[in-house]
Amino acid sequence: MGKALGGESRPAAEPGGRANLRDVAQRAGVAVSTVSRVLSGHPDVSRATRDRVMAVVDELGYRPNVLGQMLRRGATRTVGFAIGDISNPLFAQIALGAEAVLGERGYSLLLSNSMGEPERELHNLRMLEQRRVDGLLLSVTTERDPKLLAALEGFDGPMVAIDREIRLTTGIGSVCSDHRTGISGAVRALHAAGHRHIALVAGLATLRPGRERIEAATGTAESLGVRCTVRSTAGFTALAPEGLLDLLKGPDAPTAFIAGNNQMLGSVLGAMEAAGTPDVSLVTCDEVPLLRFFRPRIAIVRRDPYRLGQESARMLVDCLEGGGTLKDLRLPTSFDPGDSIHPVA
């Protein structure tokens, strides 16, 4: 027994000086089960006993072992989020939206970042599973990698894919943007301004955003009699501006560019500057804070990444708590014409 201030006996703490449940019970003169009822908010405890126990909890600095309690119940109230590139402002907004909902519902978010490397992504998923996360949010680098799909098939919990098409026999929910509507609106606006050759710089067609943008741009252009040239690259390795210079040279150069994401926008702007073609019309996808300072105001295909995160987390938690089902949800995009579309004579 140790001595508290004033000379009275005080129960010993756990190794390392941390008080445990038994210490609190002994100090308060009650059973361990009574302390448990007080801490869990059980109504079958008198006010005087509750006050006495809570005074001892404060005095000893007792902190419940929340992780241990959760593991005993078979849940950690933690959600894993596998992201390809957290340096992308879009993914940061998605994560913020997800965390806002999870925090309100009493869950924590454990984030993993693969930087576009499939092997690292697979390692991260295994790590999240080892940490006993209750469910997974997925905005992964690849949709078809056999090793990744096998790892997901073996995960014992609900999963929601964010802007990805992942097919599993075990079932998976998804929350995706309707890229087709926004991109089609951009192509139609360019056509109305007289443009007959448009260049789309997009992510690879092996991921849903790039695939939908390419299909929407080429399909809409064909229906309008407009030529659409596509240059694709992985979103994690944006094209160097030099890789676009050939498009801006010659008599049949495109008169308008659509940057398929905020990373591609830098490539397009660099190529336009290097080629000395500032009058080329420009559309970009996904708003980032710096765009508000551009003049003329750049036309944007807008979506709400914060809401993507919110809806994904909400679907996952509803499923975890037995009040919801995994489904496919589509969120809208829209086209804001800005001031960067110039008429073609």
What are 84-142's pLDDT values in tens digits? 888 888 899 999 999 999 999 889 999 999 888 888 999 999 999 888 899 999 999 88
DSSP conformation class of 290: G
Q: How confident is the model at residue 240 (pLDDT cuts 50, 70, 90)?
A: low
Give the residue, 51 or 75, on which the prediction is more confident: 51
- For residue 195, which of 137, 302, 281 has the smallest C-alpha distance? 281
pLDDT for residue 156 is more than 60: yes
Tokens found for residue 311: 């809806």
**Predicted pLDDT at 322:** 82
Give the residue, 179 or 76, on which the prediction is more confident: 179
**Predicted pLDDT at 6:** 37
Q: What is the tens place of the pLDDT at every residue in 172-192?
A: 999 999 999 999 999 999 999
Q: How far is CA 17 from CA 32, 96, 189, 272, 315, in A?
A: 19, 37, 69, 65, 42
Provide the 3-class DSSP secondary structure of residue 340.
Answer: coil
**Predicted pLDDT at 11:** 44
Close Cβ partners of 250 (under 8 Å, ≥ 6 residues apart)? none
**Predicted pLDDT at 309:** 97
Q: How confident is the model at residue 74 (pLDDT cuts 50, 70, 90)?
A: low
Tokens found for residue 23: 């210490």
**Predicted pLDDT at 65:** 61
Q: How confident is the model at residue 4 (pLDDT cuts 50, 70, 90)?
A: very low
Architecture (CATH level 2) of domain 179-304: 3-Layer(aba) Sandwich (3.40)
Q: Mean pLDDT in the chain?
A: 85
DSSP conformation class of 9: E
CA 175/CA 307 separation, integer angstroms? 10
Planar angle of CA 232, 216, 247, nearest 5 degrees: 40
**Predicted pLDDT at 59:** 84
Q: What is the tens place of the pLDDT at every residue in 279-312?
A: 889 999 988 777 777 788 889 999 999 999 999 9
**Predicted pLDDT at 2:** 40
CA atoms in the 13 A half-sphere facing the CB of 45 = 22
**Predicted pLDDT at 261:** 83
**Predicted pLDDT at 14:** 44
Q: How confident is the model at residue 64 (pLDDT cuts 50, 70, 90)?
A: low
Q: Model-level pTM greater than 0.75? A: yes
Tokens found for residue 214: 């390419």
Give the residue, 44 or 223, on which the prediction is more confident: 223
Give the residue, 340 or 33, on which the prediction is more confident: 340
Q: How far is CA 85 from CA 109, 115, 134, 234, in A?
A: 16, 5, 23, 12
Q: How confident is the model at residue 23 (pLDDT cuts 50, 70, 90)?
A: confident
Hey, do 2-64 and 76-178+306-331 end up sharing a CATH topology, with the first three levels equal? no
CA 157/CA 216 separation, integer angstroms? 34
Three-state SS for 230-289 is EEECCCCCCCCHHHHHHHHCCCCCCCEEEECCHHHHHHHHHHHHHHCCCCCEEEEECCCH
Contact 331, 303 (CB under 8 A): yes
Q: How confident is the model at residue 273 (pLDDT cuts 50, 70, 90)?
A: confident
Encode burial over 40-49: b for 16+ CB neighbours within 10 A, e otherwise: eeeeebeeeb
- For residue 286, which of 267, 260, 312 has the smallest C-alpha distance? 260
Contact 98, 312 (CB under 8 A): yes
CATH number (3.40.50.300, 1.10.260.40, 3.30.1390.10, 3.40.1160.10) of 2-64 reads: 1.10.260.40
Q: What is the tens place of the pLDDT at every residue in 48-61?
A: 888 888 888 888 87
Q: How confident is the model at residue 15 (pLDDT cuts 50, 70, 90)?
A: very low
**Predicted pLDDT at 100:** 95
**Predicted pLDDT at 16:** 43
Q: How far is CA 156 from CA 152, 217, 225, 343, in A?
A: 9, 39, 50, 55
Encode burial over 56-73: b for 16+ CB neighbours within 10 A, e otherwise: bbeebebeeeeeeeeeee
Gap between the terminal Cα atoms of the chain: 92
Contact 143, 84 (CB under 8 A): no
Q: How confident is the model at residue 234 (pLDDT cuts 50, 70, 90)?
A: low
Which of 4-18, 110-124, 214-228 is predicted least confidently?
A: 4-18
In CATH terms, the fold of domain 76-178+306-331 is Rossmann fold (3.40.50)
Question: Would you kindly state where each structural domain of the chain is located, as residue ranges?
Answer: 2-64, 76-178+306-331, 179-304
Q: How far is CA 260 from CA 180, 222, 339, in A?
A: 12, 18, 18
Q: How far is CA 208 from CA 144, 191, 204, 211, 254, in A?
A: 11, 25, 9, 5, 25
**Predicted pLDDT at 73:** 53
